[in-house]
Chains A and B, each alone.
Chain A
Amino acid sequence: MSAPVSTTTIRAGRLTSVAAEGLSRHFGRGAERFTAVAELDLEIPVGRRIGIVGESGSGKSTLARMIAGLDEPDEGDVVVDGRPLRQVLRSRSQRVEYRRVVQLVAQDSMSSFDPLRTVRDAVRTPAEQLCGLGRAAADALADETVSALGLSPDLLDRRPHELSGGQRQRCSLARAMVVQPRLIVCDEVVSALDVSVQGQVLNLIKDYCERTGAALAFVSHGLPATAFVAEELVVMRHGRIVERGTCDEVLTAPAHPYTRQLVAAFRGRGAGSAA
C-alpha cells in the first residue's frame, strides 16, 4: 500500500521566459489608496533560483500572486514567452498550460487546504485538471510525489487538520510539484513553521529545483532562509526593487541602505539559523 509504484510519467511543460514589465497594483480607493507594487520590472531567469526579500507590506506577496496569475495587475503585465499573461489566462487551454508550468505554494498550509476535503483531493486535482490524467493515474502520481517528499501516502487520506504543520506544508509542495512545474513561486512557505521543519522544507524545494532544473521565485521576509535556497537575491521595498544581485554580492557588498540594514540584522542573528 505504501510503496509507490511508478505507473505514470508526465511530460514536463515548457517555459522559456517569465518577466514582470511595468507591473503596478493598487488597493483601496480615494485617500486610502495604497500602492502595493509600483512599476516593477523583474525578469525571472528560467532555471535559476531567485529570492525576493522585503519587509511585510513591501508588495512581494502581491508580486508573487500576480506572477502566478491569481491577481490582475492594474498597469503593466507579466510577460510569459513573449505574451502578456492577461491574454494567456483568458483562453482556457493556455491557462491550463500556464498553471502546468508555473505553480504557487502559499504561506498558510492550514488554510490552503479545503477543511472539508481530504488532502488527496487537493494533491491529485492538479494532475487531473492540468495534465488530463484519470482518477487512478492521478492518485498514483500523488502517492509517488508525496513519497518523494518523504511522507507516507497514507497521510493523503486525512483531512488537513489531522496533519502537522510540516506535513501539511510538504503536501502543499506535493500539490505544486505533482505537475512538474518549471517555475515554483513560494510565498513565505516556511515563515509559519518551526525552525527544525523549516530546514527540511527548504531542502526539499532546493532539491526539486536542482534535480529538475526548474526555476524558483522564493518570496520571504527572512533573509537567512532566502539566502539558503536562492542563487540570486532581489530586495523589495515600498513596491519597488531596491537591489538585485547574486547572493554573494548582496550579502557581502550591499549597495542600498535598506539592504545594508537587512544584511546587518542577518549577520547579527547568525547566518546558519535556517540551514
Chain B
Amino acid sequence: MRAGGWRWAGLAGAGLVLLVAAFAPLLAPYDARKIAGPPLMKPSGEHWFGTDSNGLDVFSQTVMATRLDVLIAVTTVLAATALGMAAGLAIGMNESGRGGIGVLARAGARAADFVQAVPAVLVGLVAVGLYGSTPVTITVAIVIILMPMQARLVRTEVLQVRGEAYLDAARMAGTSELRLTVRHVLPNVARPAVLYMSVLFGVSIMLTAALGFLGVGVAAPTPEWGAMISRGATDASLGHWWPALFPLTVLILTVLAVTAAFSTFQQGRQRR
C-alpha cells in the first residue's frame, strides 16, 4: 500500500518533469539569462525561488535548466540503451564462438566489465577538455559512459537465453542469425535493460550536473542545474540558501520520480 503510493507519486512526478521540460519557455516568468531584479532577493510572490547573486530569477533558471538537463538525460539514455543492447547482443551471441569474432566478443565483454571501474566524471572531463563544453560533446561523452553499462547487462541476459532450445528450433526453421537475434533473443533479454534505464537516467543527470558544478559543463549563461548549484554554493556558505536549494531539490526529485515511475513498470509487468 505504501509502495503503491510511492509508485503513483513517481509516475505523476515524472510526468510533471516531462511537462515542465517540454513547456519550460512558457512557464518561466523571466528570461533566465537576463537580470530580473536585485541580487539575492529571498523567495517572494514576485520571484518564487528568489534571485541569485547576479539578480537572475532562480525559478526561471531552474525551469529552463530542467529542459536542458532532462533533454540531455533522455537523449543519452535512449541512445546508450539502443547502442548498449546492440553491443550486448553482439557480444553475448558470439562470445563462445570460434575464431576472430569470438576473440573480439570476449575482449568486448572484458572491456565492458573494466569500464565499470573507470570514474565516469573523469571521462567526461577529458571529453569536454578535448572537444569543448557543448551540449553535443557532453551528450556523446555520457552515451559512451552509459553504453557499456547496458551492454554488460544485456550480455548477461543473453548468456542465459543463448542456450534456450527455442533458438535452436528457430535455427532449424531456417531463421538467420540476425533475424534470430532480433526476433527471439532481443525481446527475451530487453526487459532488464528497459528497467535499468531509470538508473542510467540518474547517472546521466548526475554527470551533466557534476560537470556543470565543476564549471566545465554546458557553457554559461545557459541555465544548468549543476552550474546553478555551484554558484549557489558560494551564496549558501554565506547563509543565502535559495539559489542552491531549489535546483538541488528539483534535481533530486526528478531522479527520484523517474526511478519510482520505472518501478511501477516493473511491478506492473510482474503481476501478469
Q: Do chains A and B touch in the complex (CB under 8 A)?
A: yes
CB contact list, B144-172 vs A, under 8 A: 164-166, 168-172
For the complex, is A68 an interface residue (Cβ under 8 Å from B)?
Answer: yes
Q: Are B188 and A104 in contact (CB under 8 A)?
A: no
Q: Taking the complex as formed, is B173 at the interface, i.e. its CB lies under 8 A from any CB of chain A?
A: yes
Nearest neighbor of B169 in chain A, beta-carbon distance: A112
Q: Decide if B134 is an interface residue (CB 8 Å cutoff).
A: no
| Tally of chain B residues near chain A (CB < 8 A) | 17
A77-130 contacts to B, CB under 8 A, are 92, 95-96, 99-100, 103-104, 106-108, 111-117, 122, 125-126, 129-130
Contacts of A129 in B (CB 8 A): 173-175
Give the CA-CA distance A209 to B179 in the complex, in Å: 31
B189 to chain A, nearest CB (A): 11
When chains A and B are docked, how far (Å) is the Cα of A151 from the Cα of B183? 26
B100 in the interface (beta carbon within 8 A)? no
The reply to whether B168 and A112 contact each other, CB–CB distance below 8 Å, is yes
Write the A204-220 contact mask toward B (1 if CB under 8 angstroms, else 0).
00000000000000000
A176 at the interface (CB under 8 A from B): yes
Q: Cβ of B168 and Cβ of A106 under 8 Å apart?
A: yes
**Interface code A5-24, partner B: CB below 8 Å = 1, 0 otherwise?**
00000000000000000000
B165-199 CB contacts (< 8 Å) to partner A? 165-166, 168-176, 183-184, 187-188
Total chain A interface residues with beta-carbon distance under 8 A: 29
Is A114 within 8 A of B166, CB to CB?
yes
A130→B174 contact, CB < 8 A? yes
Set A100, A113, A115: member contacting B169, Cβ < 8 A: A113
* Cβ contact within 8 Å between A175 and B169: yes
* Bitwise interface map of A from 63 to 75 toward B, beta carbon under 8 Å scored 1, else 0: 0010010101000
A111:B164 contact, CB within 8 angstroms = yes
List the B residue with the shortest CB-CB distance to A131. B174
A125 and B174 contacting across the interface, CB-CB below 8 Å: yes
Q: Which residue of chain A lies nearest to B172 when distances are taken between CB atoms in the complex? A: A104
A108 contacts B172, C-beta separation under 8 Å: no
Q: Which residues of B contact A175 (CB under 8 A)?
A: 169, 172-173
Query: Which chain A residues lie closer than 8 Å to B172 at the CB level?
Result: 68, 70, 99, 103-104, 126, 175-176
Q: Quick check: A114 and B171 within 8 Å, CB to CB?
A: no
Min distance, Cβ B163 to any Cβ of chain A, angstroms = 9
Chain B residue nearest to A127 in the complex (CB) = B173
CB distance from B173 to the nearest CB of A (A): 4
Closest A residue, CB atoms, query B188: A116
> Which A residue's beta carbon lies closest to that of B167?
A114
Within 8 A of A (CB), among B104-142: none
Q: Please indicate the chain A residues that have their CB under 8 angstroms from the CB of B164 in the complex.
A: 111
Q: What is the interface of chain B, defined by CB distance below 8 A to chain A?
A: 98, 164-166, 168-176, 183-184, 187-188
Extra inter-chain contacts (4) besides given A115-B166, A115-B188, CB under 8 Å: A100-B174, A111-B164, A125-B170, A126-B174
6 residue pairs bridging A and B, Cβ less than 8 Å apart: A65-B168, A70-B168, A70-B172, A106-B169, A112-B166, A114-B166
A: residues with CB less than 8 A from B are: 65, 68, 70, 72, 92, 95-96, 99-100, 103-104, 106-108, 111-117, 122, 125-126, 129-130, 172, 175-176
